[in-house]
Amino acid sequence: MPRFTPEELRLLADAQFFATKSRLMGRVRGLLEETHAALRAEVAAAALTTPDGFNPAKVQFVKGEHLEDCPYQYLDFPKHFAGGETFTFRTLFWWGHAFVFALLLEGDRLLQYKQNLINRYHQVAGRELEMSLAPSLWEWKQGAGYTIPITHDHKSQISAVLSGRRSVKLARFVALGDPAVQEGRVAEVAVQTFRALLPVVMT
């Protein structure tokens, strides 16, 4: 017979939980809207190497409940997914985990992006960025086995990982307890991260 633990019963009896969750997710949406507004000027000013058909105005807001059983919201801007080409900067809120600011790249220009990362490595390194080790762009965990920090002493390891990749994901992870999150400075961190990644995708 199924039984509930005292903690489970406490959660079941908490009539305010979903009202609180709804309010918090509304605040997250507001932070993502601020981030979109802040990134528009950055995208407009940057000389980007983009796929054919790239539309610098295209944007997407998404909200869901089941990223490994946890709610999430994200902003894709700039956003390009078409015909095997990906050129997207995602700002992801993952309940219980982190904010993640990630550049997602794949397609015909991937070789150029990989060359840019290696040739301009020390412009990108040491800026709290990490490269995903996962074969898919859709893995959002951080740490050993999932990501490698882009530090000045990791250039050879990064180069080795890049060599066989069909896609590249470069990201910054910010804990939910970080002062930037506590103070609502998500848009500021997104802009900082986008600027840090520009050497990879600029002409």
H-only helix segments in 16-57: 17-45
Domains and CATH numbers, the chain: 28-201 (3.30.930.20)
For the record, the structure tokens of 79 come out as 């956003």
What's the rounded Cα separation, in Å, for the pair 139 and 183? Answer: 27
Q: What is the pLDDT of residue 18?
A: 95
pLDDT at residue number 71: 98
Determine the number of helices (DSSP H) and then strands (DSSP E) in the chain.
Answer: 7, 8
* Number of Cα atoms under 13 Å in the Cβ half of residue 108: 7
Least trusted range by pLDDT, from 2-6, 157-161, 173-177: 2-6
pLDDT of 1 strictly over 80: no
What pLDDT sits at residue 101? 98
Report yes or no: 114 and 58 within 8 Å, Cβ to Cβ. Answer: no
**Residue 164: predicted pLDDT:** 87
pLDDT for the residue 2:
82
Distance (Å, whole) CA 52 – CA 49: 10
Structure tokens belonging to residue 76: 């894709």
The pLDDT of 146-152, averaged and rounded, is 98
Judge whether residue 192 has pLDDT over 90: yes
pTM of structure: 0.97
What confidence tens digit (pLDDT) does each residue in 29-48 have? 999 999 999 999 999 999 99
